[in-house]
Amino acid sequence: MGGDWRSLRIPSLICAIYLLLTFNNVYCFYLPGVAPEDFQKGDLLSVKVNKLTSTKTQLPYSFYSVPFCRPENIIDSRENLGEVLRGDRIENSPFAFKMTEPEMCHVVCRLVLDDKKAKEFKEKIEDEYRVNMILDNLPLVVPVRRLEQEAPPAYQQGVYIGVKGQYAGSKDEKHFIHNHLTFTVKYHKDLQTDSARIVGFEVMPFRTDMADNISSVKHEYDGKWADNTRLTTCDPHAKRTVSNSNSPQEVEANQEIIFTYDVEFQKSDVKWASRWDAYLLMADDQIHWFSIVNSLMIVLFLSGMVAMIMLRTLYRDISKYNELETQEEAQEETGWKLVHSDVFRPPSNSDLLCVYVGTGVQFFCMMLVTMMFAVLGFLSPSNRGGLMTAMLLLWVFMGLFAGYSASRLYKMFKGTEWKKIALRTAFLFPATVFVIFFVLNALIWGQKSSGAVPFGTMFALVFLWFGISVPLVFVGSYVGFRKPTIEDPVKTNKIPRQIPEQAWYMNPIFSVLIGGILPFGAVFIELFFILTSIWLNQFYYLFGFLFIVFVILIVTCAEITIVLCYFQLCSEDYLWWWRSYLTSGSSALYLFLYATFYFFTKLDITKPVSGILYFGYMLIASYAFFVLTGTIGFYACFWFTRLIYSSVKID
């Protein structure tokens, strides 16, 4: 019966992973996040505008920082903490539809550009800025046809303000603005109540053949402009739509621009609860799927091999050491048992190690709880900024565990001043990140971007830090320090043992750098998709995959650290405390190097400020990754050393 059970373990594991990944259309289950709103025929649909975004500059701007058409009163929507940190600025707009009532060539406004306005439009077109709008909490998207004809379209968030191009037969490059948009509102109708719910919000800018790669139209009219002027380029009364015979709209000083739009309503079979599915569909899902599974299988295979080797080797060593009976045999002992009287000697800078371990525990708890909530569907993509808000709040409240773990380790190292270690734990990592963040925020302020965190939000962050996180760290430290001291399984000599000369491959720098390769290799595929989501403004909601990768990361960090720690102890080098932290933590170096590679190969950032922002934020991410992976490796090695030295007879 035992053999039958063991033979079922691997298939059961694979089935469990498959079910997790395939739960709700492969990607991840999510809850809608907001209550549905029912609309009747003729109900007003108010379109809101969000920030202008660009993958070239990474600097968001509010919609009305550019001289677009404005409503009489601009009203800001209340944003949560995550939205403010993302640079979201949601405001009302002059775009308004009536439910299931199509409109043709609706005039929004007329603008005459002066030199300043023309320059502003040209700069934004040059930097490839997109307009982001929201209808019934759905973002505006542009459907993009994929290479596979039968595949559903991919979606680009937002529509470009304009494009650069040339007239046919001309080499002079001009700036053209998208001043005529065709909106498509998709809705699902309830046959029982005759009400409708919005399930899609798409736009296609009008394209004319008068210029290469141009998507605008120069509107014309007779006489002088007035509120009731009828256009000759398109007229809803005469059922005349915009045609390809119209000239495109250039952006130049003293040019007149008339903004118009069409809106059509399209019935859809998609239900309201599933309306985000199309948005979250990855453009290269097959590549993503096979890459993740391939990485998973390789890492599981390596993990099994490492575990088998370690268990067989350790079992033989422990059996051999426990069979030593005479004093002469005991004096001839070699390998890791020889350093038993020094292996638990407190390391140099033990206070700093306690601080970093405590911070790593705080990160680990935050990541674990965040992923669990995301996998269960509580961090809906419709709740903009929800993920960042949740991570910030969890980080603050997990300070309790940071203080507890730091003080427990500190007391084991014979420390007595628990308040000092609590203070350093509460301030070292957050203060470093805050200084970098403050400098980056100052640069964003200098660019007058909406991505700059306002003073009120900065005060809220400081309050979360000093008002909640710091006290919780002290509470955790107090509780941890009152716990009994963790006893070492063997006694430590007063005089440290001399470490013999080590082989070149056991050099600390070399072994630390080698140790970081495997953990990074477990996550770098998923890292590509995460970076693409952040810096190329694409949807990401694959928390099922991400949770599996997180588990793989934990396993690989633990195993590679245990293996290298075992080789180190066999070489009679007992200085394992810091090296165990740095071995898995060095994967952060590879993460930053990969981020640098990604910057030069995938991004088109040219402005110095944007480059500084990218590397500044990736430095923070790499620092956090170092703390997280280092702590995982440290605790794995800590458990391993205590296990093996408590398993042998030592006189």
pLDDT tens, 144-192? Answer: 877 666 667 778 888 999 888 877 777 788 889 998 888 999 999 887 7
Higher-confidence residue of 4 and 136: namely: 136
Q: Average pLDDT, stretch 406-410?
A: 94
**Range with the largest mean pLDDT of 321-325, 330-334, 548-552:** 548-552
Higher-confidence residue of 573 and 19: namely: 573
Residues 6+ apart with CB under 8 A from 208: 214, 215, 216, 217, 244, 246, 247, 248
Q: Average pLDDT, stretch 25-51?
A: 74
Confidence of residue 600 (pLDDT cuts 50, 70, 90): very high
Confidence of residue 1 (pLDDT cuts 50, 70, 90): very low
Q: What percent of the chain has pLDDT over 90?
A: 33
Find, among 30, 47, 31, the residue nearest to 198 by Cα.
47
644 pLDDT higher than 70: yes
Contact between residue 561 and residue 519 where contact means Cβ atoms under 8 Å apart: no
In this predicted structure, what is the pLDDT of residue 210? 43
What does the alpha-carbon distance between residue 101 and residue 157 come to, in Å, rounded to a whole number? 25
In this predicted structure, what is the pLDDT of residue 320? 67
In this predicted structure, what is the pLDDT of residue 533? 84
Locate the domains of the chain by residue range. Answer: 43-280, 283-322+512-645, 349-487
In this predicted structure, what is the pLDDT of residue 26? 39
Higher-confidence residue of 166 and 28: namely: 166
pLDDT tens figures, 603-639: 988 889 999 999 999 999 999 999 999 999 999 999 9
In this predicted structure, what is the pLDDT of residue 209? 44
Contact between residue 523 and residue 584 where contact means Cβ atoms under 8 Å apart: no
Q: Measured between alpha carbons, how far is residue 391 from residues 82, 358, 395 in Å?
A: 9, 17, 6
pLDDT tens figures, 212-254: 434 688 888 888 888 778 888 887 776 667 766 678 888 888 8
Contact between residue 47 and residue 96 where contact means Cβ atoms under 8 Å apart: yes
pTM over 0.75: yes
- Burial of residue 273 (number of CB atoms within 10 Å: 0-12, 13-18, 19+): middle
In this predicted structure, what is the pLDDT of residue 283? 53
355 pLDDT higher than 90: yes
321 pLDDT higher than 70: no
Q: What is the CA radius of gyration of the chain?
A: 31
Q: Average pLDDT, stretch 480-495?
A: 85
Tell me the sheet residues that pair with 45: 97
33 pLDDT higher than 60: no
pLDDT tens figures, 89-100: 888 899 989 998
In this predicted structure, what is the pLDDT of residue 501? 81
Q: What percent of the chain has pLDDT over 70?
A: 84
In this predicted structure, what is the pLDDT of residue 133? 93
Instruction: Collect contacts of 521-530 with beta carbons under 8 A, ≥24 apart.
Output: 521/295, 521/299, 521/556, 522/295, 522/299, 522/549, 522/552, 522/553, 522/556, 523/549, 523/552, 523/553, 524/590, 524/594, 525/288, 525/291, 525/292, 525/295, 526/292, 527/591, 527/594, 528/598, 529/282, 529/288
Q: Average pLDDT, stretch 581-589?
A: 94
Tell me the sheet residues that pair with 266: 186
Q: What is the DSSP string of 370-427?
A: HHHHHHTT-S-TTSTTHHHHHHHHHHHHTHHHHHHHHHHHHHHTT---HHHHHHHHHH
Confidence of residue 23 (pLDDT cuts 50, 70, 90): very low
Which of 195-199, 481-485, 542-546 is predicted with the least confidence, judged by mean pLDDT?
A: 542-546
Query: Would you state the torsion angle of the CA atoms of residues 77, 82, 88, 90, taken in this order, to the nearest 10 degrees?
Result: -10
**Amino acid letter at 164?**
K
What does the alpha-carbon distance between residue 177 and residue 160 come to, in Å, rounded to a whole number? 9
Angle at 67 between CA 64 and CA 71, to 5 degrees: 60
392 pLDDT higher than 90: yes
Find, among 158, 131, 8, 154, the residue nearest to 62 by Cα.
131
What does the alpha-carbon distance between residue 476 and residue 401 come to, in Å, rounded to a whole number? 6
Contact between residue 223 and residue 135 where contact means Cβ atoms under 8 Å apart: no
In this predicted structure, what is the pLDDT of residue 7? 37
In this predicted structure, what is the pLDDT of residue 135? 92
Q: Measured between alpha carbons, how far is residue 129 from residues 48, 125, 163, 167, 537 in Å?
A: 17, 6, 10, 22, 12
pLDDT tens figures, 243-293: 666 788 888 888 889 898 889 999 998 888 888 877 776 555 566 566 677
Angle at 473 between CA 442 and CA 486, to 5 degrees: 135
pLDDT tens figures, 290-307: 667 766 776 777 677 677
22 pLDDT higher than 70: no
391 pLDDT higher than 60: yes
Mean of all residue pLDDT scores within the chain? 82
